[in-house]
Amino acid sequence: MDTTPTPDQAADLLAQVEANERHSRTGDAWPLVTLLFVLSAGLSVGLVAIGVIDDAPTQLIVFFAGLAWLGPALVVYLVKALSWSRRSGIVLFTWLGLILLGTLAGIIADSYATTTPVPYVAAGLLWFAAPVFSFLALRR
């Protein structure tokens, strides 16, 4: 019995394997997309609170309440991310660096002048950049 596939069968099998790989890569990217949006939401809520609230202890309470979402988001990401790729790692670490810079810029600018719009601009940039980085994560 000859088990060698015909050229048409081999082409069909190869197409099926490529489709399965594409589907699994996209499916593995969704935990990263969720993480990026939760990070953006938590930090932007904290940045808006820093811009709106004048009382420093209340600012910190609301800011850390926004950061409290990071713990569950990281747990979900680490449990549900089925594979690590170099590209998803680059997207994640680039995003973490970007949100760290935006958050620090918002906090430092508000500490020097409480009427500055920098915390609002930083929060808006986080909301604008989250879909861009999520698209990059889905394109891997």
pLDDT under 50: residue ranges of the chain: none
pLDDT at residue 136, as a whole number: 74
pLDDT at residue 45, as a whole number: 84
Q: Which amino acid is at 56?
A: A
Q: State if pTM tops 0.95.
A: no
The CB density around residue 139, as the number of other CB atoms within 10 Å, is 11
SS3 87: helix
pLDDT at residue 6, as a whole number: 79
Backbone phi, then psi, for 69, in 5-degree steps?
-70, -15
pLDDT at residue 91, as a whole number: 77
Query: CB–CB of 43/99 below 8 Å?
Result: yes
pLDDT at residue 23, as a whole number: 59
pLDDT at residue 38, as a whole number: 83
pLDDT at residue 83, as a whole number: 60
Cα 19 to the center of its chain, rounded Å? 25
Angle, in degrees to the nearest 10, between helices 7-52 and 118-138:
170
